[in-house]
Amino acid sequence: MTTSRTVRRILAATSLAALTAGAAPLAPALAADGGVTQERLLDADKEEGNWIQHHKNFAGHRYSTLTQINKDNVKNLKVAWTMALGGIESGGIWSHGGLEGTPIVENGMMYVTDGWGSVYKIDTRGGEGKLLWKMDPKTDREWAGAVACCGVNNRGVALWGDLVVSHTLDGRLIATNKETGQVAWQRQVADPDKGETITGAPLIVKGLAISGVGGAEYGIRGWIAATDLKTEKEVWRTHTIPGKGEPGSETWKGDNNAAVSGGGSTWVTGTYDPETDTIVWGVGNPGPDWDNAYRPGDNLYTDSTLALDATTGKIKWHFQHTPNDPYDYDSVSENLLVEANGRKLAIEADRNGHAYAVDRTNGQFVWATPFVKKVTWTKGINPDTGKPFEYDPTKDVQRYNPAATPSAENKNADFCPGNMGGKNWPPTAYNPNLQYWYIPVIESCNRVTHEAMTQANLKPREFFTGGGPSQPFRITGSVTAIDVKTGKVAGKHETQFPLLGGMLATPDLVFTGEPGGGVMALDAKSLDKLWEFRTGSGVNAPPMTFTADGKQYVAILVGLGGAWDKWFIDSTPELKNIQTGSMLYVFAL
């Protein structure tokens, strides 16, 4: 087993020259613009042709006001250029890496990552892509790949000043000089010796890089951490599983000291409300996943939306969706910050198949509605409390629908949506004009075999799940639109395969991709398909849009990664013929 001391030796021995080996000669630099600042991030939507935040803006909308490509001419969209990337090498239990990142574009310069965390700077001007440099963090593939729960993935970078800020699977935060591709500094944020990894893009707030962590399936204790990009030091770290005596610790009961291995990972990039200086972040499942009798109580703050003071990391409020979760129903998804009917809302498409709205000033429940076609684990969500109808606060172990709940009494349980969720990590998008919220849906059921856990089962870097899934059911997908004014489904576009890549919204269009290789544009109102292009490889990343030389482009990374082809492929057998790849596609009229 690799130790933290060994990791430090590896990092110390990795020279800056090695990190930037093979970098291409630099193109002439753009005129100095002072770099990315908090003011620019706050006003990101005003930079129409740029995409300088992971979710486009702090509110997480993934909405662009660009209209050169619209519903009248999108049928003429063609491939403008492509670029082959790397990062599909195998590692650990994984046969290949994948692409899940969102490209970042500033003044025609694009920054993308591959699954192993290499960063590529590409000049998009002149109607073609030119690679300027590549930063390879030299992640130990066998070591990191063996502990990565759910694939070799990296979801992108952030910009601050003259730095490109990124994470690596083995838990580092790296700051790279934007012009030269040289690593300025790096620090270890997560500890893979404990089963901690990082796959999400950083969120930059007031010069702090906010990092989440993966690894709930390994019995970690989750957290969100902030690093000062000027001092290179950690400013705060907030654990999502409270320590003894802290608020919420009373929701971890029993004799197993279950909070120590409680999970609560935070592996999807959150959002930020500057009006209240609040970071809103989703928290994943408790551990072990499917043996909730091991961990009696509601298990805060797992399966919750957390609001944190951006300056101190102090928890302001929380809202929990599935207390004492026995289904692996993460609430790790991004929370979009919207306003509807005079209320300031945080909206989240939960893995349990329901879309939620809470008041983002205090966490008060507003509404919930199912966005999948089939829900069997519960009769529904109580409109007064926001909890499942079956939730009984007097019971320490919840059974919800007992026939659909894995337990010692029900060793093989079928439930819908399946444990991959009605929506997994792929991001939603929001059209503020229509007030439509677009969700990439996994229409699914699955079967879980329960296994009772003991403290002896808890070992570092080994799965601690309380059972495992199988896939005897066909899985499909959809784009589902929610009208946030009413909290009701406004439309659904059915797809052959689950949507594993995420959404982009423009004034009259919605873009997405699917694992069969298609990239498509839908009418934002009717969800009718207006355009599609077959890429020849699976899409596992969200699209984005930008301008270069005054021309609008749509870009998307193509290369199926994640856990689908390892654990869920039997539910989509046609995808067995989809080849791996690592390609950037850029489209234009």
Q: Which residues contact 241 (CB under 8 A, 6 or more apart)?
A: 221, 222, 252, 259, 262, 263, 264, 301, 302
d(CA 164, CA 158): 6
3-state secondary structure of 384: coil
Q: Which of 328, 330, 350, 414 is catalytic?
A: 328
4, β-bridge pairs: none
| Structure tokens given for 121 | 């700077």
| Structure tokens given for 94 | 């994984």
3-state secondary structure of 547: strand
d(CA 340, CA 409): 44
Pair 319, 363: CB distance under 8 Å: yes
Pair 31, 310: CB distance under 8 Å: no
Q: Which residues contact 157 (CB under 8 A, 6 or more apart)?
A: 101, 104, 111, 112, 113, 119, 164, 165, 166, 201, 202
3-state secondary structure of 235: strand
d(CA 525, CA 214): 36
CA distances from 541 to 161, 196, 278, 506 (A): 26, 23, 27, 17
Residue in 115, 140, 253, 267 with CA at minimum distance from that of residue 193 = 140
Pair 423, 51: CB distance under 8 Å: no
Q: How many residues does the chain have?
A: 589
Torsion angle of the four alpha carbons 476, 513, 63, 66, in this order, in degrees rounded to the nearest 10: -140
Q: What is the layout of strands, in order, in the sheet containing 551-558?
A: 78-84, 583-588, 551-558, 544-548
3-state secondary structure of 261: helix
305, β-bridge pairs: 282, 319
| Structure tokens given for 499 | 């949507």
Is 528 an active-site residue?
A: no
Pair 226, 208: CB distance under 8 Å: yes
CA distances from 102 to 96, 512, 526, 565, 584 (A): 19, 12, 26, 21, 11
DSSP at 152: B
The catalytic residues are: 328
